[in-house]
Amino acid sequence: MSVLLQVENVTKHYAGSVKGQTIRAVDGVTFELEHNEIFACIGESGSGKSTLAELIVGLQQPTSGTLTWLDDARAPHMSKPTSQPQLVFQNPDRSMNPYWRIRDIVTEPMRLGGCPKRQAYAEAEQLLAKVKLSADLLGRYPHECSGGQKQRIAIARALSVSPKLLIADEITSALDPSTEAEILQLLLSLKQSEGMSILYITHRLETISGFADRVAVMKNGAILEMGETDSVLADPQSAYTIELLRAVQYS
């Protein structure tokens, strides 16, 4: 496998509300993301997962450290939206204009990249097909779609610019177990068909077995351990990972 992104000793610190306090949201994180892999980032609430995602897509700048894209065409600073890594959030309603039809929502990144409306619309049906949705939804508004459908639409929108990296930030947290399983299956098949990498952010350890190729376990902004998913689950090294596994077994 070849490396897509190198994250080296990256930190993101915020000033706290108390004078002199520093919040170390991300605290010296180093890892490499490979082409065409699913890399899970797991940790409890507040461990720094979303901040890391925002640093990777360029929504935030690191306090220190470097993020190096080894495939230059995908770097977040590039002007063409087609080159940007795409972030899909937990709550699709927060990233969808409720007054826009699905046709306009899925083609928005293409339009922002200068694609003419007619051409973008012509591709909208195919984009929905990629996420196993019927073209019947194209004329609907977000409130006329289910939560699972909206998450698929958000993924279709991300796919519209053929990203080399899709970041899925807790995208199944609000879904029922069977819809969650369908979305994970969809991501697995998209990894194959689109040849992209997926950074899968979750606090649910039970979702990564048989899905993620590798996993990094985060706590307090730092990576506690990292490795092939099967190895980490079979032989966890950190007390925190063992605790997470016990909690899953108990539940």
- Residues 75, 83: contact at Cβ < 8 Å? yes
Choices 45-53, 137-145, 190-198, 236-244; region in contact with ligand ATP by CB under 6 A: 45-53
- For the four alpha carbons of 142, 148, 154 and 159, in that order, the dihedral sign comes to negative
Taking the C-alpha atoms of residue 62 and residue 10, their distance in angstroms, rounded to an integer, is: 6
According to the binding rule CB under 6 A, does residue 23 interact with ligand ATP? yes
Task: Compare residues 11 and 149 and give the one whose CB is closer to ligand ATP.
Answer: 11
Q: Interface with ligand ATP includes 81 (CB under 6 A)?
A: no
Restricted to residues 133-162, the positions that interact with ligand ATP (CB under 6 A) are none
Angle between helices 177-194 and 147-159 (to 10 degrees): 10
**Residue 43 makes contact with ligand ATP by CB under 6 A:** yes
Using an 8 Å Cβ cutoff, are 57 and 167 in contact? yes
61 binds ligand ATP (CB under 6 A): no
The stretch near ligand ATP (CB under 6 A) out of 44-52, 190-198, 206-214, 233-241 is 44-52
Residue 47 contacts ligand ATP per CB under 6 A: yes
236 binds ligand ATP per the rule CB under 6 A: no
Non-local (6+) Cβ contacts of 101 within 8 A are 138, 139, 140, 141
Q: Which chain residues interact with ligand ATP by CB under 6 A?
A: 14, 23, 25, 43, 45-51, 203
